[in-house]
Structure 1
Amino acid sequence: MLPIWKPVLSDDITRKSFRNLMMIVWASWFFRADEQFKSATSSAMTRSNGQFNSIGLPIPVKIIGGVLDAMNEARVNAIQNVFSSISVTTSAFIRGTYGCCFECRSIMVGALQLEQHASGFLSLQPKSPYHKIPYIGVVNKMQAFKSPTWSDNKALPSKPKQKDSSPHECGHSSFASIFSHLNSSIQGLEVVKFVVPVTTTLKRKQTDK
């Protein structure tokens, strides 16, 4: 590895500008630096608000194209999975898979709709390739969804004339718990999957002759 690239690849990737981050993706791929490549692609896919391109760097598309395609696909799939979790959660409450009673399911579905509206998800109706929508932004908004609070207000078995006004705390009454499985970042790519075998390169050169 050229000495000039060592400090670049060893710096804190999370503090890099997006252009510099993409330069690290290229450099770490070129030098087969797997750890840096995985970290850089993860950070880029997590932060990007659109599809990837060579950002004007003098890199032949046939060389870096496979990497960019894989990053675009991974980013889109990750965002799709996040939005799908909202639909799956809504369906689970409607079907009765989530929620302990009618009131619980009704309140949670209504709250979920309100939080989607407040986050702009309903009005945007985001679609692939999710232009101007970074993965980390979507996850942060979902993990900040406000969960409703209410009291069960049910009659106590031992005292029918008195009611229990303790807060409702079933396993599906917290959005933080429901969406806790969401990762704060997209898993980075492995550089070995984008290394062109030497034998393949030699064959191409011989064919060109």
Structure 2
Amino acid sequence: MLHNLPGMSTTVTSSPIIIENFLPEGMQDELERVIMGMRFPWFYYPNTNSTDDYTQAGESPQFVHGFIQNYKNITQWHTVPRAITARLGIADEKIIRAKCNLMSREKASFIHPKHVDDENPHWVFIYYVNDADGDTCIFDGEEVAHRIKSKRGRGLIFDGMMEHASSAPVDSTHRCVFNFNLARDIPAEIFEKYAV
């Protein structure tokens, strides 16, 4: 459902939009091959929120590759996420941040700390690289309002001011996603065509 925000010229979705098979099968294969390949560089983060240099209770470490930060390319691999956002018809200058997260298996399932990626209004777009049992959780207050399964080729779009969190895989060896923060001035109608 779409609704207008007071004082803003754009609308936001009150529920997440899930897009099955966001990329064609061939692109899904190629993307997974590149990202999970031995030549692709990953960087160790002690937690999922980059809040400090230690892994706190209720957290788990992950590997991250940042592509774009504050609208600027920060890696030679910056064309990889642009192939994804191009499918949405989103201009490069609308990408605030793009990164890829890789989590390994944990002994028990748990939800990481809820958060928003940026204090300024934005859209979040998540692309799932592989099938995994680590869900994305979107909150309404303290309650999980939506649980989205990590399914290869799936896209997820939601209002970036909604608190959300990843969860650790237990059965799967790893969980890999692209995480985008997109400019809020992108019209919601771009995403509306994907709503089911």
Greater fraction of residues in strand: 2
Greater fraction of residues in helix: 1
Q: Which category describes the TM-score, using the shorter chain as reference length?
A: under 0.3
Q: For the pair shown, which has the larger CA radius of gyration, 1 or 2?
A: 1
